[in-house]
């Protein structure tokens, strides 16, 4: 099969590898029909994470079950499915909460070395009854792909931000996760959402969703707009030292900063005393993907939640290098790339 691999910063290629086999009697093999390039994939592309060997990339996949183990009950061969980007064992008390981060064995992420990459012809999925969901009627391929990661992450970021009804929220970073977080913040009760980025095109996209565009860094503008008090909640969808510091500065005393942006491997110099004196709540999480499906799918099907315009480019799998160059440009015209094996 073909699979997208990276063997150094900016070095993307499509490799040929043996077809995967079932991971066990509870696993499935999915023939991937669509895969997304995520902002967190760019940490490998930008060289933020060291590579001991080539890594098969990708953790967002939609496709068709072509083989299923005898213990799989929720899907069968021929079903169109979406695959959670974050995997758990599926059998422990942590996984029973629907949050693979709570897995007793620890969460695993496709396309990070431990599991295969989703940007491929085929993907082996363990514990399929936990990881895989049959694509519901009325859900498009793009919506299904966003349910595997970005939308679930943006939704979780808003839920964990303690947004008061009628409150003020700032969302830092307007990639796919940030744009999903903007829309989620409104559904969680925000009256005002400041959408923060340096890229004009992304600011315009957020303004089209009803947000107030703010050039990054945001703290000075947010403080001025709130009479010096700060936002009730700040969602950081970037995860750099600069963005986290901006978030902690822009939030009001007693407010919450919800970080879902993926940080690098260096420690963050937390201003702990200032946070303590201002009674700041700081939350960081990967998405509880499976837990979000019961809430997000009805909202998508009803039209209450719209995710149009987040995927901006579609390319065949063989043009993955071009797709990564587009995603890595972080331009206003290009937000998210879809690859079709």
Tell me, yes or no, whether 36 and 105 share the same domain. yes
pLDDT at 329: 93
Tell me, yes or no, whether 243 and 309 share the same domain. no
Domain count, the chain: 2
pLDDT at 52: 82
Tell me, yes or no, whether 14 and 25 share the same domain. yes
Tell me, yes or no, whether 121 and 224 share the same domain. no
pLDDT at 327: 96
Domain of residue 230: give its range. Answer: 152-284
Which token pair is 210?
């009803």
Asked if 206 contacts 181 with a C-beta cutoff of 8 angstroms, the reply is: no
Tell me, yes or no, whether 248 and 136 share the same domain. no
Cα–Cα distance, 308 to 293 (Å, whole number)? 18
Tell me, yes or no, whether 173 and 197 share the same domain. yes
pLDDT at 102: 97
- pLDDT tens-digit map of 241-287: 999 999 999 999 999 999 999 998 899 999 999 999 999 999 999 99
- Below-70 pLDDT ranges, the chain: none
Task: Read off the CATH number of the domain in which 200 is found.
Answer: 3.40.50.720
Position of tokens 């799918």?
Answer: 297
pLDDT at 283: 98
Q: What are phi and psi of 40, to 5 degrees?
A: -75, -25
Tell me, yes or no, whether 231 and 123 share the same domain. no
pLDDT at 113: 74
Tell me, yes or no, whether 114 and 184 share the same domain. no
- pLDDT tens-digit map of 282-341: 999 999 999 999 999 999 999 999 999 999 999 999 999 999 999 999 998 899 999 999
Position of tokens 């409104």?
Answer: 186
Return the closest-CA partner of residue 201 out of 327, 330, 329, 332: 332
Tell me, yes or no, whether 280 and 293 share the same domain. no
**Cis, bond preceding 217 (omega within 30 deg of 0):** yes
Position of tokens 């992420």?
Answer: 109
Q: What are phi and psi of 189, to 5 degrees?
A: 110, 0
Task: Read off the CATH number of the domain in which 76 is found.
Answer: 3.90.180.10
pTM (predicted TM-score)? 0.96
Cα–Cα distance, 81 to 64 (Å, whole number)? 6
pLDDT at 65: 98
Tell me, yes or no, whether 167 and 275 share the same domain. yes
Cα–Cα distance, 177 to 157 (Å, whole number)? 9
Asked if 111 contacts 59 with a C-beta cutoff of 8 angstroms, the reply is: yes
């Amino acid at each position: 099969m073909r699979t997208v691999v990276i063997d150094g910063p900016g070095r993307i290629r499509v490799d040929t590898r043996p077809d995967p086999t079932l991971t066990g009697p509870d696993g499935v093999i999915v023939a991937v029909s669509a895969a997304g390039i995520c902002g967190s994939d760019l940490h490998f592309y930008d060289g933020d994470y060291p590579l001991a060997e080539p890594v098969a990339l990708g953790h967002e996949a939609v496709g068709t079950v072509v083989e299923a183990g005898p213990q799989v009950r929720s899907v069968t061969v021929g079903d169109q499915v979406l695959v959670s980007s974050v995997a758990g064992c599926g059998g422990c008390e942590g996984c029973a909460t629907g949050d693979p981060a709570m897995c007793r064995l620890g969460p695993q992420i496709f396309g990070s070395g431990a599991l295969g990459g989703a940007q491929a012809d085929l993907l082996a999925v363990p514990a399929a009854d936990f990881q895989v969901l049959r694509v519901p009627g009325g859900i498009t391929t793009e919506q299904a792909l966003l349910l595997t990661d970005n939308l679930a992450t943006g939704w979780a970021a808003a839920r964990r931000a303690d947004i008061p009804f009628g409150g003020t929220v700032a969302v830092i970073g307007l990639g796919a996760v940030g744009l999903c977080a903007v829309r989620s913040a409104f559904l969680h009760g925000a009256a005002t959402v400041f959408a923060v980025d340096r890229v004009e095109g992304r600011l315009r996209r957020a303004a089209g969703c009803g947000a107030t565009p703010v050039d990054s860094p945001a703290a000075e503008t947010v403080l001025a707009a709130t009479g010096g008090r700060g936002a009730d909640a700040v969602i950081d969808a970037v995860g750099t030292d600069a963005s986290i510091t901006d978030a902690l500065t822009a939030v009001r005393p007693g407010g919450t900063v919800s970080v879902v942006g993926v940080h690098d491997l260096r420690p963050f110099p937390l201003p702990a005393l200032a946070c303590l004196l201002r009674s700041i709540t700081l939350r960081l999480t990967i998405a509880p993907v499976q837990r979000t499906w019961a809430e997000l799918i009805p909202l998508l099907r009803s039209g209450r939640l719209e995710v149009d315009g987040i995927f901006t480019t579609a390319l065949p799998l063989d043009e993955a290098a071009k797709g990564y160059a587009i995603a890595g440009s972080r331009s206003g015209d290009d937000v998210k790339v879809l690859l079709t094996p």
